[in-house]
């Protein structure tokens, strides 16, 4: 599916790739295009080092969906990981001993080591997961956006949260077993040592909910009629290897990818200095490889974007940029 069709039909589009290649630019330019084609669009930056506001030329209050003045149908959101972590505080360090203020009391009991292990466990990628979950919550509940565009953090762990349900299952299972083993002791201890009834610990429920919303999100994200991941790259060798790894990861998680954007290309028709000629030749060599690997072998649609003289910021330039994105 061409990017244009995707912008007109899909519910979610994610832009990702190596650092500095133009993800934010492609995401905001696409978002403007979609908004101007009557799709109520929300663009979300999940990169903790946000630059979405800079790209759109305005301040975005952290964690708050903000309508973009002058563009109908466009809302932008930079998610605030700190806020999200605070919201889920206590969840990353679930303590089955909750409510038993008796330090040292259970030392020497064999189960203690397990417990220590359990309380210090942080599933990998959990903070990114919370950030994205916050976003998924927004998507699933309060909104009536037609299209949600993600400007993701540089390659790496963007989608690692998708494997979290399995990790969490193990985690929840372990926690549950521990609870059962400890149940009677805890009951006894509590009745002996604690004067007032402590609040019920609901960490298990929260974990279950977390797991289920990731499973739901996974359903949406792996459905090619709903979501597509657009890879952004530049024509350099390192970017080719990194794009290969990213595609592998996306494939592993069943995330649909049909378009790859090759950004910042020196133009052949331009008069260039020696330095720029050398760079253009380097790009050209890599471009041949990119066509062979990603188009011929993997059947991806390639979108070429020229290197502009100026940085691409704010409405007019983003608009001009979108003419290359949507041919």
Q: Report residue 232: phi and psi, to 5°.
A: -110, 135
Q: How far apart, in whole angstroms, are the C-alpha atoms of residue 64 and residue 237?
A: 38
The owner of tokens 């969840």 is 91
CB-CB contact of 98 with 190 (8 Å) = no
Q: Which partner, Mg ion, ligand ATP, none, binds residue 312 by CB below 5 to 8 Å per kind?
A: ligand ATP
Q: Which of residues 293-312 bind ligand ATP (CB under 6 A)?
A: 305, 307-308, 311-312
Cβ-closest position to Mg ion: 24
Instruction: Let me know if 294 is exposed, middle or buried by CB neighbors in 10 A (0-12, 13-18, 19+).
Output: buried
Least distance from C-beta 289 to ligand ATP, angstroms?
Answer: 20
Task: Check residue 30 for interaction with Mg ion (CB under 5 A).
Answer: no
Chain centre distance of CA 56: 20
Least distance from C-beta 94 to ligand ATP, angstroms?
Answer: 33
Q: How far apart, in whole angstroms, are the C-alpha atoms of residue 242 and residue 229?
A: 15
Q: Which of residues 22-81 bind ligand ATP (CB under 6 A)?
A: 22-25, 47, 51
Q: Strands 41-45 and 66-67: what pairing?
A: unpaired
Task: Check residue 24 for interaction with Mg ion (CB under 5 A).
Answer: yes
The owner of tokens 């990702």 is 16
Find the part of the chain contacting Mg ion (CB under 5 A) among 17-25, 68-76, 129-137, 186-194: 17-25
Nearest to 150 by CA among 270, 36, 6: 6
Q: How far apart, in whole angstroms, are the C-alpha atoms of residue 149 and residue 228?
A: 10
Q: Which is nearer to ligand ATP, 29 or 167 (CB)?
A: 29
Task: Check residue 320 for interaction with ligand ATP (CB under 6 A).
Answer: no
* Mask for 34-73, x = binds Mg ion (CB under 5 A): -----------------x----------------------
Least distance from C-beta 272 to Mg ion, angstroms?
Answer: 28
Q: How far apart, in whole angstroms, are the C-alpha atoms of residue 64 and residue 270?
A: 43
Q: Which of residues 248-267 bind ligand ATP (CB under 6 A)?
A: 263-264
Q: Which is nearer to Mg ion, 23 or 280 (CB)?
A: 23
Least distance from C-beta 170 to ligand ATP, angstroms?
Answer: 33
Task: Check residue 84 for interaction with Mg ion (CB under 5 A).
Answer: no
Q: Which is nearer to Mg ion, 24 or 30 (CB)?
A: 24
Q: How far apart, in whole angstroms, are the C-alpha atoms of residue 176 and residue 291?
A: 51
Residues that bind ligand ATP (CB under 6 A): 19-25, 47, 51, 154, 263-264, 305, 307-308, 311-313
């Amino acid at each position: 599916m061409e990017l244009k069709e995707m912008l007109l039909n899909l519910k979610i589009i994610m832009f990702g790739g190596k650092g500095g290649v133009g993800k934010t630019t492609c995401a905001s330019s696409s978002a403007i295009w979609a908004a101007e084609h009557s799709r109520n669009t929300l663009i979300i930056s999940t990169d903790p080092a946000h630059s979405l506001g800079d790209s759109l030329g305005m301040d975005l209050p952290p964690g708050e969906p903000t309508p973009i003045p002058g563009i109908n149908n466009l809302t932008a959101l930079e998610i605030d990981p700190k806020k999200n972590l605070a919201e889920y505080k206590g969840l990353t360090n679930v303590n089955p001993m909750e409510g038993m203020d008796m330090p040292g009391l259970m030392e020497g009991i064999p189960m203690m080591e397990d417990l220590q292990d359990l309380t210090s466990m942080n599933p990998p990628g959990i903070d990114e997961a919370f950030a994205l979950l916050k976003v998924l919550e927004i998507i699933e509940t309060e909104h009536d956006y037609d299209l949600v565009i993600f400007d993701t953090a540089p390659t790496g762990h963007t989608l690692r949260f998708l494997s979290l349900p399995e990790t969490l299952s193990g985690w929840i299972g372990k926690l549950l077993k521990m609870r059962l083993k400890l149940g009677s002791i805890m009951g006894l201890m509590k009745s002996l040592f604690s004067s007032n009834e402590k609040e019920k610990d609901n960490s298990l429920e929260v974990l279950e909910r977390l797991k289920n919303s990731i499973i739901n999100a996974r359903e949406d994200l792996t459905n090619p009629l709903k979501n597509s991941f657009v890879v952004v790259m530049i024509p350099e060798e390192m970017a080719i290897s990194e794009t290969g790894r990213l595609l592998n990861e996306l494939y592993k998680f069943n995330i649909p990818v049909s378009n790859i954007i090759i950004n910042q290309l020196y133009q052949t028709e331009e008069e260039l200095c020696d330095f720029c000629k050398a760079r253009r030749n380097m790009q050209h060599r890599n471009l041949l490889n990119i066509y062979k690997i990603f188009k011929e072998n993997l059947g991806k649609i390639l979108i070429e974007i020229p290197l502009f003289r100026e940085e691409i910021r704010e409405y007019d330039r983003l608009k001009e940029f979108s003419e290359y994105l949507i041919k």
